[in-house]
Amino acid sequence: MRPDPASPSQGGRADVDLLQSGVLEIEGRLLSASNATLRARVSSGKRQAQCVIKPVAGERPLWDFPDGTLSGREVAAYAMSEALGWGLVPPTVWRDDTPVGPGMVQLWIHEVDEDRPVDVVRPSAVPEGWLVILEARDQADRPVVLAHAARADLMRMAAFDAIVNNADRKGGHVLADSSGRLWAIDHGVTFSDEDKLRTVLWGWAGAQFPDDIQDDLGALAAALESGLVDVERFLSVDEREALRRRVGDLVDSGRFPLPSAHWPAVPWPVF
């Protein structure tokens, strides 16, 4: 497991330290989010940045995830991304002292919309080299397709979703910043001990893992045997065991999973 040498400075240790100890000021609420999601500014001395706060108090109860656990799963997903060395999730910390109570604080990523690597387009407009996930028809009964780029970093993200058992990888949860780097956000419904993988990144379903991902999975399986405290402290005993079993199964199969016959394969809406 190794960091990407091409990764830009955003997302480094300094950002984590700023999020962990800086002063938080609320700027507003993101009204499109299903749970309370606040944009804020965090500052410490001359350093400042925008961030997202998701407080436990603003979580909407779900039938299949324990109440009050979604913010912690966001932090666990960041810790997993760092343990793998993949740098997919923006720096994310837990704080008991946000202006709205305990919850997660995550670095805000300034998205470049035109570089979005997942899209719904006309069949004739699929960019060259992209992978088509499903075919559908729009409200005017015209054909459209859901497709995504065939990038190595997006392939890692697909593997990451299988590892954390992501139940909600929408297209809008994949962000491209101004440097072209991809970021994965919104991991509140991850790490269930039941199979819930639901994603728009099915382009490699059933394909063999490339050697680098297979090696990183093997290293992760070994690390989980000793325990990854930063990941597992937010999970139940059953979820920890399911995580070890899931990673072990991925190592043994050496392949990306196929969609389950018992759970919707693609989230709705897809964005």
Burial class (CB in 10 A: 0-12, 13-18, 19+), 206: exposed
Q: Which residue ranges of the chain lie beneath pLDDT 70?
A: 1-11
Q: What are the tens digits of pLDDT across the range 202-238? A: 999 999 999 999 999 999 999 999 999 999 999 999 9
The pLDDT score that the predictor gives to residue 11 is 67
- On the 0-12 / 13-18 / 19+ scale of CB atoms within 10 A, 177 is middle
> What is residue 173's three-state secondary structure?
helix
pLDDT in tens, 155-182: 999 999 999 999 999 999 999 999 999 9
Crossing angle of the two packed helices 152-164 and 70-84, in degrees rounded to 10: 130
- What is 13-107's CATH topology? Phosphorylase Kinase; domain 1 (3.30.200)
Burial of 141 (0-12, 13-18, 19+ CB in 10 A): exposed
By DSSP bridging, strand 131-137 and strand 143-148 are antiparallel
Residue 74, H or E segment = helix 70-84
Whether residue 237 contacts residue 227, with contact meaning beta carbons closer than 8 Å, is answered with no
CB 249 within 8 A of CB 226: no
pLDDT of 62: 87
Report CA 59 to chain centroid distance, whole Å. Answer: 18
Q: What is the pTM of this model?
A: 0.92
Continuous segment of H or E residues that includes residue 44: strand 38-44
| Exposed e or buried b per residue across 114-125, where buried means at least 16 C-beta atoms within 10 angstroms of its C-beta | eebbbbbeeeee
For residue 216, CA distances in Å to 1, 96, 116, 209 come to 5, 33, 26, 10
